[in-house]
Amino acid sequence: MAYRIPSRVALSRMSTPGKVPIVACHPVAISQIQQRHSSHSPLGSPPTIQRKKITLESLRSLYKKNEPITMITAHDFPSGHVADHAGMDMVLVGDSLAMVALGMEDTSEVLLDEMILHCRSVSRATKSAFTIGDLPMGSYEVSPSQALESAIRVIKEGRVQGVKLEGGTEMAAAIQRIASAGIPVLGHVGLTPQRQNSLGGFRVQGKTTLGALKVLEDAIAVQEAGAFAVVLEAVPAEVASLVTKKLQIPTIGIGAGNGCSGQVLVQVDMSGNFPPGRFLPKFVKKYGDVWGESMKAMQAYKEEVKNRSYPEPQHTYPMPADELSQFQQAIQIESV
């Protein structure tokens, strides 16, 4: 059926006398008074409790008071936003991004540019938490200069406050170079997932006397090189505890027991944002069921769309009756 659609000018003349026709409105005036009738709204909202920005100084003070430091990963704006609102001291844009946000097989695939994009996204949300970007494999091992160049990009482009890199004694020179340029470095020893191929997989480190001595030696090297803290991943709790006592910088444990200066977990793991049956390492505690809640919500939505019970009248925009009848006249339809 062909409708005779009146021109915009004719339509504006059809408007109710006394009302300003849409075409006569100035665009600036509209944008000033308009609410966003769209889901394209910024996600941000002010935190319920205003917190000061966490700095190296605040982290040192927590360490001195023996108050555990809380750290969690975030890989995009929403996950950074919730971490910041929840009051995390530190947020890590970890290269676990590769698997849990980008669907890659392991961390070796993720690129520096990709890490930077995700750091930018997270750092827009983390107004308070001290935010760290991981240096991905291949972006720091070649030389201390390469490490510094990558770290500068992560800070300047990613807008985070510090960088993390994996490795102990062999990475001391790189850490030293980055730290001496005024960039806070978080070390990472014990299980270093970027080296899974040479470690023979994701294995617990420091289970023998020699292994434990190696973890300690690496942690001390990282500290001497100028790191402000060090992640201890997958080492026996007793070893992590003793290493923590030997150091003068905080240790952040993941799979390293309760004797560290703080803890870090991957957000999707601890919030339960993954399908049933996924492998979880022993140290992960599932504090929530984000996957289950999302599934419930989406299944209910699907059902309601299919049976036309959504949207209901309260989810739609009203139109004045006279405008509707003029519209019907204009397209020559009696009623809808």
Q: CB of residue 226 vs ligand KIV: minimum separation in angstroms?
A: 19
Comparison of 148 and 254: residue with beta carbon closer to ligand KIV? 254
End-to-end CA distance of the chain: 16
Binding to ligand KIV in span 66-105, by CB under 6 A: 73, 92, 94-96
Active-site option among 114, 233, 238, 304: 233
Distance of CA 141 to the CA centre of its chain: 25
Q: CB of residue 220 vs ligand KIV: minimum separation in angstroms?
A: 20
Give the interface size with ligand KIV as a residue count (CB under 6 A): 10
Binding flag, residue 231, ligand KIV (CB under 6 A) = yes
Binding mask 256-295 for ligand KIV (x = CB under 6 A): --------x-x-----------------------------
User: Is residue 233 among the annotated active site residues?
Assistant: yes
Q: At a CB cut-off of 8 Å and minimum separation 6, what does 114 contact?
A: 97, 102, 136
Residue nearest to ligand KIV (CB): 94
Comparison of 108 and 326: residue with beta carbon closer to ligand KIV? 108
Binding to ligand KIV in span 186-225, by CB under 6 A: none
For 247, the 3-state DSSP assignment is coil
CA–CA distances in Å: residue 270 to residues 83, 96, 97, 255, 315: 12, 14, 15, 13, 34
Comparison of 95 and 218: residue with beta carbon closer to ligand KIV? 95
Decide: 162 and 186 in contact? Cβ < 8 Å: yes
Q: CB of residue 132 vs ligand KIV: minimum separation in angstroms?
A: 9
Comparison of 281 and 320: residue with beta carbon closer to ligand KIV? 281
Considering only 151, 230, 254, 268, the residue that binds ligand KIV (CB under 6 A) is: 254
Q: Which of 237, 294, 297, 251 is nearest to 271 (CA)?
A: 294
DSSP state, residue 64 = H
Decide: 232 and 253 in contact? Cβ < 8 Å: yes
Q: CB of residue 319 vs ligand KIV: minimum separation in angstroms?
A: 50
CA–CA distances in Å: residue 281 to residues 122, 133, 200, 254, 255: 25, 23, 17, 10, 8
Q: CB of residue 59 vs ligand KIV: minimum separation in angstroms?
A: 16
Q: At a CB cut-off of 8 Å and minimum separation 6, what does 286 contact?
A: 269, 270, 271, 272, 280
Q: CB of residue 233 vs ligand KIV: minimum separation in angstroms?
A: 6
Binding to ligand KIV in span 110-139, by CB under 6 A: 134
**Alpha carbon distance 38, 193 (integer Å):** 42
User: Where on the chain is the footprint of ligand KIV (CB under 6 A)?
Assistant: 73, 92, 94-96, 134, 231, 254, 264, 266
Residue positions annotated with a catalytic role: 233
